[in-house]
Amino acid sequence: MPAAVRKGTIQLLCRIKPGTSASREGITAVSHEHIDMCVAARARRGDANTAVVKVLADALKIPKSDVEIVKGHKSRDKTIIVGRASSDAKLEDELAKVNTTLQESIVK
């Protein structure tokens, strides 16, 4: 799973496909390089970015306020930070939990 760590957060590298049908919206693949995601919103006025935050927050079962796009606002390739559940938990355990949750959320 693509992730880097910043204090108190996990960074995810995502590749977004905007403007897809609503039935295909969601996470489509998780690899070691990036997370593939489709959103129904078009890439204009930040609509797709808003949808990306919602899809990822829903997939991870966390509040949207814990998800932030930090790089790639006008690109299909985005760096997104996710607030860690607990700073006491081992990083490896949290990464494994995020990876498992994302794998389970893949749209089929």
Number of domains present in the structure of the chain:
1
| Structure confidence by residue, pLDDT tens digits, 39-83 | 999 989 999 999 999 999 999 999 999 999 999 999 999 999 998
Confidence of residue 17 (pLDDT cuts 50, 70, 90): very high
Give the range of the structural domain holding residue 26, as residue numbers without chain letter.
Answer: 3-104
Question: Is the pLDDT confidence value at 86 over 80?
Answer: no
Residue 99, judged by CB atoms within 10 A of its CB (0-12, 13-18, 19+), counts as middle
Give the pLDDT confidence of 2-11 residue by residue, as tens digits.
555 556 788 9
Residue 15 DSSP SS3: strand
Predicted model pTM = 0.85
Per-residue pLDDT, averaged over 7-20, amounts to 89
Kindly report the CATH number assigned to the domain that includes residue 54. Answer: 3.30.1200.10
Q: What is the CA radius of gyration of the chain?
A: 13
Which H or E run contains 28? strand 26-30
Q: Which of 103, 63, 89, 72 is nearest to 5 (CA)?
A: 89
Token digits of residue 17: 């496909």
